[in-house]
Structure 1
């Protein structure tokens, strides 16, 4: 998925189809999900320019989806679309990490304008570059360099590295890493994180990540 791809999460199929058609006419590529579980899987597997997220969903809630997204340091712009117009609902959505909020029923032109504004605003934000030794991670550009060389990482390798970089010098439990990388979406093989760590060591150096036996992993020297 690229910078023009949107994930639309809406359980009303007729509304979803109408919104998807309008989004495509506005120049976006659109993926759809009709429940919270499918949305969580899509957001783990792909990188989107933005998410249009209903709150009232089957198999979980939109807030659950948003909270899991932000918990793994994914800053994908998220615009909540919902029939819940109470102030408390809006505050909870914004506190969970939403970038904007549109209450149903809405005019499609307003939704498209708000979406474009959110994407423009977030693309202009500057995220701090994370560094350890000669390794630098730019979360905003999703890029990694070692010295002067660009290093290509898969989506899950990148999320594993960011989670460890954010906690330099501290041991991170394997189960916590799984939650940060996957956001609790679906069953995970017991050795999955170990595979990502192995790949990161191969690409960035064996000395970067230390195994804390029986617990998890640590990036850098213990603090």
Structure 2
């Protein structure tokens, strides 16, 4: 197991309970170098946590029963799936990370950054990356306005929480776009760490093509070889 928290058990909740409507087929089962997207995400979670909860659609519980310490069914929304996963974590946990199963390329270094921030006393932590595209807003009349990128970042997972904050998020009746948004709605102070541009989320089929290329690139980089040589 890679280095985890020095202050108690770290549990990671891997959320894979979605319907993959935008992808068109079960994206978690798509292969990257012979392993499914979900297998790779789970390997990283296991390598960087003491225990792992996996959230999957109810009809796939038996299929993935042996993949995690605890496997639970998802809910009708992402927030409901997160709630099911977090509430399955025992009170012996000190911190809980929540990770999208569709982000198989999150590195051990990123996990360690988030865990270290929680160990330092943060209640909620989000990895962020700078936005490189130009930002535009369009009003109701179709008028386009340019917006400065300064101060804007993209949010990633794993997002980390101390145990009590994670439980508060799980028990909230809010339906936010991510868990950090729920934390903010509850008035929790949010900290950040540097994310990774390679930590992409697979949403549409073209994302899978990019993820496969990045997976090869990262393996070459890890081995010390020069990518592209």
TM-score normalised by structure 1 residue count? 0.27
- Higher Rg: 1
TM-score scaled by structure 2?
0.26
Higher percent of residues as helix = 1
